[in-house]
Amino acid sequence: MAERVFMKGTEAIAEAAVRAGCRFFAGYPITPQNEIPEYMARRLPEVGGSFVQGESEVASVNMLYGAASTGIRAMSSSSSCGISLYSEGVSYCASARIPMVYVNVQRGGPGIGAIQPAQQDYLQATKASGNGGFRMIVLAPDSVQECVDMVYEAFDLAERDQNPVLLLTDGVMGTMMEPVVLPEMRSDEELKAFREKFMPRAIVGHPLGQQAFCRPGSVGDGQEQENIKAAAMYETWDKDVRVEEYMMDDAEIVFAAYGISARISRAVLRELRKQGIKAGMIRPITVSPFPYDAFRNLDFDRVKGIIDVEMSIPAQMRWDIDFAVQNRVPVKEVLRSGGQLLTNDQVMNGAMEFIKEVL
């Protein structure tokens, strides 16, 4: 096995992206994701790539649009209020079916929020990252290792679908250091094979009709035809739904959490198990497409309640849980926000209150 190294989440994301073949990065500084562009500024020239610090988020996302439409693997990153400024560009990329990857290292919100970690952008990330009703695969890692594995894979998914992919993480995972095993550097041959399989195109040098569809709209029924194609592609994502069902075989109390909240819930439910409480967890790994079936198929005779743990006030993933659960069991929220970090103890206290009520 490859050696494990001790890395900060943001730097690990950047290195994994380079190893996935990312050769273009544009971004604009914002805490707590600054180490991604900082790392890329140093690292990309070493592998023949290009780094641009844009004059703004709006410029950066449009540079990403341009770079990715040439077929190169391109990425950007920002945090919360910076991501809001990406909305237009991301929507344009989705419209033009451009395979790009971007990372949201979430901080407090709304507005300028707080520079401390939060999970305040769930609904934006999963439901409407821009205008026009497009969808994206949104991956939600719960460790530095998953940050690495997911950003590595995100480029493949983006190219497969010719669609943007979002890595939704937060300031805790971005800032903390953990042991991680880095993937192999993708070879030029591998990347070429990907491009040829999914993107037999380049803007320069190809005759009309074979060139990239890189305009955001079109005349006549062109837009509707494109929307129909995109909708059909979204329908294929049932196979891409990913969920961790942890200790769920006999669970009576079910934690529902993604990202940083999920790893905290996992530690807490292990403690609850030691006290004889049958707790489990459903962790959406893809928050879009959301694993509705994991909730729909719960044994509602056995499950006494769901604890939704989020670093967001008000709760946001709750919408998806409620959509699947339809009031068949009570749902308790354990939330922090505004840069206040969730700890094991706080989740344990919230869980114990609820358990006394429902068990």
Q: Summarize as ranges the residues that interact with another protein (CB under 8 A).
A: 4-6, 31-32, 115-116, 172, 175-179, 260, 263-268, 270, 341-345, 347
As measured in angstroms, the least distance from the Cβ of 224 to another protein is: 47
- Our CB check for another protein shows the closer of 177 and 228 to be 177
> Position 240: which residue type?
D
Is beta strand 331-335 parallel, antiparallel or unpaired with respect to 305-310?
parallel
Asked if residues 160 and 192 have their Cβ atoms less than 8 Å apart, the reply is no
Token digits of residue 122: 């769930």
Whole-Å CA distances, 134 to 65, 70, 103, 104: 16, 22, 18, 18
- Our CB check for another protein shows the closer of 67 and 281 to be 281
As measured in angstroms, the least distance from the Cβ of 107 to another protein is: 10
As measured in angstroms, the least distance from the Cβ of 255 to another protein is: 11
H or E stretch covering 324: helix 318-325
Closest CA to 181 of 142, 210, 149: 149
- Our CB check for another protein shows the closer of 251 and 329 to be 251
How many Å apart are CA 136 and CA 125, to the nearest integer? Answer: 9
- Our CB check for another protein shows the closer of 5 and 112 to be 5
Place of tokens 């934006």: 124
- Our CB check for another protein shows the closer of 96 and 150 to be 150
As measured in angstroms, the least distance from the Cβ of 346 to another protein is: 8
* Cis-peptide into 314, omega within 30 deg: yes
- Our CB check for another protein shows the closer of 321 and 347 to be 347
User: Helices marked H in 116-209 — which ranges?
Assistant: 122-127, 144-161, 171-175, 188-198
As measured in angstroms, the least distance from the Cβ of 338 to another protein is: 13
Asked if residues 61 and 98 have their Cβ atoms less than 8 Å apart, the reply is no
As measured in angstroms, the least distance from the Cβ of 114 to another protein is: 8
As measured in angstroms, the least distance from the Cβ of 30 to another protein is: 13
- Our CB check for another protein shows the closer of 124 and 265 to be 265
Q: Strand 305-310's sheet: what is its strand order?
A: 243-246, 279-284, 253-256, 305-310, 331-335
As measured in angstroms, the least distance from the Cβ of 348 to another protein is: 10
As measured in angstroms, the least distance from the Cβ of 113 to another protein is: 12
- Our CB check for another protein shows the closer of 130 and 171 to be 171
Asked if residues 101 and 74 have their Cβ atoms less than 8 Å apart, the reply is yes
- Our CB check for another protein shows the closer of 23 and 266 to be 266
How many Å apart are CA 37 and CA 49, to the nearest integer? Answer: 13
How many Å apart are CA 248 and CA 239, to the nearest integer? Answer: 21
Closest CA to 234 of 161, 180, 181: 161
Residue 299 has φ and ψ, to the nearest 5°, of -85, 100
SS3 333: strand
